[in-house]
């Protein structure tokens, strides 16, 4: 009987168990063996690091083939160029709109709660900000000189552009194109099965990631910036569970509770990995098979969102800007706050695909309003945990945009969205494995 119940336990339940067990395991080792070099070398950086890294690497392994194959499949079925242009315009406009909302709410809440204190400032603060690329360089870099190199480096904007062009060409060469399209559709089914296989490892990967986090992230880290931490966390949760559901109901007329229930796996993956790209295979699988979004839309909007949609990062930047201004005793005007919103919103696209993009964007924002970039050093200690939460917020925003746009383009199956059993392929496949 117990075995039967264990088999029926869904992926979400298994991930939650793995997450809770990992945190407890990490805290237990931390308290029983404080400052143990053996635990640090062989458990934290050894066993747990190996398992967690392998899991995240497995997800990242399929991101490029999944995005390329899925996007080619979606694009080659769009023979009308105007539809593709309309889809792109709607997607970028939606992402910019929600980013502006995120920033505005973050700044308003931070001003109201006032998390910064002048007592936190220190002459020893140092932060070396990387220089952001110019807009012209970003535009130039979108076009790949070598598509294979773009794939090997995981440059998502270049991969997206090449896949769109490739898929568009397939749709315009007649019978030969249809044969190639059929091949890509078969490859898409294969890659989705690979996603299903890797998802079976999720509870173990999440256990290792959470245990390592509990072992390495001390409570003392939060001491000086605890108020900042909880302000950012509050706004992130507000954006994920109030703003997004409201937009979903207002713009698509769909039940937000159904959406949130079906997004649990994606949010848990995003929280565990702290990477929108690593979570992308699960996001696409969920959008298509559980939420009823057609591949033509999901294959375009989700990879683009994983690259340029940074609402969670924008919330951190909004609160951090106010926090740093308060710490240094600098009064920002309404104009300054408006510049923060505009700069950070546009920078979310302008710095897309750049490593360490969150801190680069924050440095740009601080420079724009004359705040010391060194203040970033104050918040780096708690940024890892907040990064996990804001990644979950980002993927939620990507999926809300995808559902809303799919509904507006009539590429959405509402029956699948409302079906509580839709997308249970992973569970049934797991049952088949157990039976063997």
Q: Concatenate the DSSP letters of all residues of 363-428 into one string.
A: HHHHHHTT--GGGGGGTGGGHHHHHHHHHHHHHHHHHHHHHHHHHHTT-B-HHHHH-TTTTTHHHH
Query: Which of 434, 179, 162, 394 has its CA nearest to residue 267?
Result: 394
Cα–Cα distance, 297 to 286 (Å, whole number):
13
The Cα–Cα gap between 10 and 427 comes to 7
Tell me how far apart the alpha carbons of residues 67 and 59 are, in angstroms, rounded to a whole number.
12
Dist CA 281 CA 287 (whole Å): 10
Predicted local confidence at residue 122, as pLDDT: 59
How many angstroms separate the CA atoms of 357 and 338, rounded? 21
Reported pTM: 0.82
- In the prediction, which pLDDT does 351 show? 60
Helix 425-435 crosses helix 174-199 at what angle (to 10 degrees)? 60
Residue 149, CA distances (Å) to 52, 133, 145, 146, 227 in order? 27, 20, 8, 5, 44
How far apart CA 403 and CA 406 sit, in angstroms, is 5
- Residue for token pair 């709660």: 113
Cβ neighbors of 149 (< 8 A, separation 6 or more) are none
pLDDT at 244: 97
Rg for the chain, CA atoms, rounded: 22
Looking at residue 128, its pLDDT comes to 59
pLDDT score at 200: 87
Q: List per-block mean pLDDT (blocks of 10 residues) for the chain, which spans 436 residues.
A: 52 86 90 84 88 89 89 79 82 92 94 81 56 70 90 86 90 89 91 86 90 75 76 95 96 95 92 87 93 91 88 90 88 88 77 63 83 82 84 94 94 91 52 41
């Amino acid at each position: 009987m117990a075995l039967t119940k264990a088999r029926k336990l869904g992926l979400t339940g298994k991930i939650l168990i793995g997450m809770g067990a990992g945190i407890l395991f990490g805290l237990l080792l931390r308290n029983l063996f404080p400052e143990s070099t053996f635990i640090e070398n062989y458990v934290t950086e050894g066993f747990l690091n190996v398992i967690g890294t392998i899991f995240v690497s497995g997800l990242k392994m399929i991101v490029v083939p999944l995005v390329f194959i899925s996007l080619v499949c979606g694009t080659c079925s769009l023979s009308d160029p105007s539809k593709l242009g309309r889809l792109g315009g709607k997607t970028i406009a939606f992402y910019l709109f929600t980013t502006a909302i995120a920033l505005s709410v973050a700044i308003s809440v931070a001003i109201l709660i006032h998390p910064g204190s002048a007592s936190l400032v220190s002459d020893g603060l140092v932060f070396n900000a990387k220089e952001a690329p110019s807009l012209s360089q970003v535009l130039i870099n979108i076009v790949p000189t070598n598509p294979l190199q773009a794939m090997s480096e995981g440059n998502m904007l270049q991969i997206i552009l090449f896949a769109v062009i490739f898929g568009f060409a397939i749709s315009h060469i007649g019978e030969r194109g249809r044969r190639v399209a059929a091949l890509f559709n078969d490859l898409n089914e294969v890659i989705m099965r690979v996603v299903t296989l890797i998802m079976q490892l999720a509870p173990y990967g999440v256990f290792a990631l959470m245990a390592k986090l509990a072992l390495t992230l001390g409570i003392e880290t939060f001491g000086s910036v605890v108020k900042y931490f909880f302000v950012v966390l509050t706004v992130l949760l507000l954006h994920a569970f109030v703003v997004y559901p409201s937009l979903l109901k207002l713009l698509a007329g769909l039940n937000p509770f159904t959406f949130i229930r079906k997004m649990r796996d994606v949010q848990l993956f995003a929280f565990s990995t702290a990477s929108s790209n690593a979570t992308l295979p699960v996001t696409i699988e969920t959008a298509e098979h559980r939420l009823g979004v057609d591949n033509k839309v999901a294959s375009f909007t989700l990879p683009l969102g994983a690259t340029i949609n940074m609402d969670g990062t924008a919330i951190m930047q909004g609160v951090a800007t106010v926090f740093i201004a308060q710490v240094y005793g600098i009064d920002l005007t309404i104009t300054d706050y408006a510049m923060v919103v505009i700069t950070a919103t546009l920078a979310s696209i302008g710095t897309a695909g750049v490593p360490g993009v969150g801190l680069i964007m924050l440095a740009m924002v601080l420079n724009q309003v004359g705040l010391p970039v060194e203040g970033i050093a104050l918040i780096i200690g708690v940024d890892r945990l907040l990064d996990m939460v804001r990644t979950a917020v980002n993927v939620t925003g990507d999926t809300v945009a995808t559902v809303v746009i799919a509904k507006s383009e009539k590429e959405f199956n509402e029956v699948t969205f409302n079906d509580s059993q839709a997308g249970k392929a992973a569970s049934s496949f797991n049952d088949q494995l157990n039976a063997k």
